[in-house]
Structure formats: structure tokens, C-alpha cells
Amino acid sequence: MAGELPVVGKADFPLYVVSDEESGGVLVAAEGVEGFFVDPEAESPEVAFLRAHEVEKGRRRVEDAVMAVMNRQREKIGEYFIGRAVLGDPGVWEPGGNIPRVAFRFFGNRCEYPEAERIWPRWASGVALEKGEWFRWPVNYQGAWLHVVQNSWFASNRRAARYGVEDVVHLDGGQISTKSGFYCALGEAVNGPGGYFGSNLDALADCISSSFGEGPPARIIWRNFQTSQEFLDHTFLDSIVGLMREFSVDLATC
């Protein structure tokens, strides 16, 4: 069962890279960040980048900043549009070759899933995601896991569609106790570990109706459906079943 937090080490490479969207110039590249993955009601706009490898000191203000999440191979796996960012304390270089802390004030968007701060380093580690890994995190992390799935999927230039080749998709209702968990399980079943196949009803409809790639799965088998019924409200389940029927997807429950 999901419960304890998996062990995730700190990144020893620039995981977060903030740049000017227009010019592409890098403002800061750092291993960690504080104050960006926060509850929506958090008031302080200051964001601190930790163990910075690169800092642009020539400009103190950017109107259209973006933050990329990078993996160990220096490939972009996630992206956030920030908006206005103003450099605060630029920090001081240490003999080891980085700046312990660089402060910015963000006046635009931040991520409303605090748990994503712990999930991104796992995705960026270079170690392949395992089947069912999303389920081994605590239940309250499932919304953040789904957020990372969706963000990474589109940041990697993939479409809302099926990339797998299996005609029959298997869902284990014993693992599905939240709406986010349903989409995590479905995305993995259709497109493999870390795969995306919708994050709400409208997005699921987009995925099913897409003509790209292999098209929608022909059959979905939802095992232990009764267990899911104990946790998910009937309105949500009825909407899922109705959507499948609308797009002629054969959904079998057992």
C-alpha cells in the first residue's frame, strides 16, 4: 500500500534553469529551489535557488521568465511560465564552484503542488520509472504526481494521445482510491510508467478522440472495480463510463 515517502536524493546537477523566454538567456541554474512549490495561499513571492551553478548578474529584472526542469542528461522534462522575476540577493560564489543561495522575487505563477518539489528530482534522476511507482507514494501525493506526469508529457513535446500498442488496457481498482489515482493508473496502463492519458474528463476525451499514433485502446478492463466504487463518488464513475461509451471504448468491470 502507499504510505511512506520513497527515498529521493538531492540533485547534484542543475535541476532548475530559469531563463528569459524572449532571448533564451539563463538567469540562474541551480540544484534546488525553495518557495516555488507552495500552497496557493502562501503570500511571500520570494523564491530561493539553492546550490546555483550559473547566475546572470547583468539583468536584475525579466518580464517573461520561464523555469525548465532538467534531467541528469540536461534534457528538459518540465516547464513553468513564471512571468516577472526580479533578482534579489545574488549570493556569493564559494570555493566549491557554486552559490549556496540566490534569491528572486516572482510576481507571476508558482506551482500549487508543494509535493512536486520532492517528485521532480525522482523524475530527473536518470533512473527509469517503475510500473506502479506512483502508487507507492502517499495518497496525498497523487495529485502532485499527476501534475508532474502532465507537465512532463507536454514539455517533452508529446501529444494527448496513445503511444502504446496494446489493444487491451488493464486497470487495478485496488490501487485506485482518488480521481488523481485513476488518471495516474490509466496513463500508466496506456502509455507506460509516467505516461499521460488525461487529467480530467475533458482531457481524457481529447486523448481518446485523438487520431494520432495508435488511436484509443479498443478495450479497458477495470479489475476490482468494486473497490474503486468504495472510494470514488458515483458521479465521477458514471462520467467515466459514459465517456468510454460515447467514444466506443469497450469498458469491462470485474
pTM: 0.93
Cα dist from 159 to 53, 113, 137, whole Å: 33, 23, 26
Number of domains comprising the chain = 2
- 65 located within any domain: yes
What is the pLDDT, as a whole number, of residue 58?
A: 74
Are 100 and 174 in the same domain? no
Cα dist from 139 to 27, 146, 153, 179, whole Å: 36, 12, 22, 11
What is the pLDDT, as a whole number, of residue 9?
A: 67
C-alpha cell belonging to residue 95: 570555493
Determine the structural domain holding residue 104 and report its residue range.
16-117
Are 158 and 228 in the same domain? yes
What is the pLDDT, as a whole number, of residue 179?
A: 97
Q: What is the DSSP letter of 139?
A: G
Task: Find how far residue 21's CA is from the centre of its chain.
Answer: 21
C-alpha cell belonging to residue 163: 503511444
Decide if 219 contacts 249 (C-beta within 8 A). yes
Are 53 and 101 in the same domain? yes
Mean pLDDT, each 10-residue run in order, the chain (254 residues): 66 93 93 92 83 85 95 96 89 80 89 96 95 96 98 95 85 95 96 96 91 67 93 94 90 90
Decide if 15 contacts 121 (C-beta within 8 A). yes
> What gap in Å lies between CA 83 and CA 24, rounded to an integer?
14
Identify any residues that bridge with 67 across adjacent strands, giving them in sequence order. Answer: 18, 80
Are 152 and 64 in the same domain? no
Of 86, 117, 148, which marks where a domain is finished? Answer: 117
- 101 located within any domain: yes
- Residue 151: CATH number of its domain: 3.30.370.10
Of 91, 117, 143, which marks where a domain is finished? Answer: 117
What is the pLDDT, as a whole number, of residue 49?
A: 95
Identify any residues that bridge with 104 across adjacent strands, giving them in sequence order. Answer: 47, 87
Are 142 and 87 in the same domain? no
Of 55, 84, 117, which marks where a domain is finished? Answer: 117
- 82 located within any domain: yes
Are 188 and 229 in the same domain? yes
Are 68 and 111 in the same domain? yes
Are 179 and 139 in the same domain? yes
Are 112 and 179 in the same domain? no
Are 180 and 246 in the same domain? yes
- 36 located within any domain: yes
- 192 located within any domain: yes
What is the pLDDT, as a whole number, of residue 94?
A: 78
Are 168 and 69 in the same domain? no
> What gap in Å lies between CA 165 and CA 156, rounded to an integer?
20
Are 110 and 145 in the same domain? no
C-alpha cell belonging to residue 181: 489515482
